[in-house]
Chain A
């Protein structure tokens, strides 16, 4: 049972570089989301998607792009990395975005120098 799979687990970037964090789920969940976790700030929603072709912004979307071309995949793109984006990123999914249990991936730890 793979669940929610994130790659890479660790990444170091220089300021201004771009990269994509990958997220895939094999549970046929319609709803997927990205959170970032920072000390003292807790987990905050970046972007979410309620199905293929539909995405929307969360509370901290600036500097990130997402797309949802398939039910399984929900990549998060950093267009021009900044030190403020140093964080641990978590992808999550659920079958029902209102009543469903949310399942998280193992996280991607990103450092921007």
Chain B
């Protein structure tokens, strides 16, 4: 059974820092991995989607990497801003059970001005 873990559960950093959020998964047989952002009381906003054949994807100040063989993904946020404060979720779509995404519990990120 696929399990997705995100550590740490919460992270607080000063504005301007570069930071890395971690995601690990137990079964490397995946189609893709997706990173989301969730603001309090809101829905999930898709940030980046990495297919299993890809090593990384970039969007603006965000860069996500995927190491399928080791079951790890990282989300790198450059020059963090207070507006980046949110919960960040990663989710994998496994080859087995492809009808659903398996989500991590998320990392709650706070950027302090």
Contacts and interface: CB of A to CB of B under 8 A. Distances in A.
Interface in B90-113: 91, 93, 98-101, 103-106
A43 B51 CA distance: 21
A98 B100 contact: no
A113 interface: no
At the interface, is chain B mostly helix, strand, loop or mixed? strand
B31 A99 contact: yes
Contacts of B100: 33, 45, 48, 58-59
Most chain B Cβ neighbours within 10 Å, of A40, A102, A105: A102
A90 B43 contact: yes
B103 A101 contact: no
A19 to B, nearest CB: 20
How extensive is the interface on chain B, given as a class?
A: 20 to 34
Interface string A64-106: 0000000000000000000000000010100001110111111
A43 B43 CA distance: 12
Contacts of B49: 101
Contacts of A42: 103-106
B46 A103 contact: yes
Given A104-B43, A105-B43, A107-B42, A99 B32 contact: yes
B63 interface: no
Contacts of A56: 99
A48 B100 CA distance: 8
B93 A98 contact: yes
Given A42-B105, A102-B34, A58 B99 contact: yes
Given A42-B105, A97-B99, 20 more contacts: A33-B100, A42-B104, A42-B106, A43-B91, A43-B103, A45-B100, A45-B101, A58-B99, A90-B44, A97-B98, A98-B93, A98-B98, A102-B34, A102-B46, A102-B91, A104-B36, A104-B44, A104-B46, A105-B43, A106-B42
Interface of B: 31-32, 34, 36, 41-46, 49, 51, 89, 91, 93, 98-101, 103-106
Interface of A: 33, 40, 42-43, 45, 48, 56, 58-59, 90, 92, 97-99, 101-107, 109
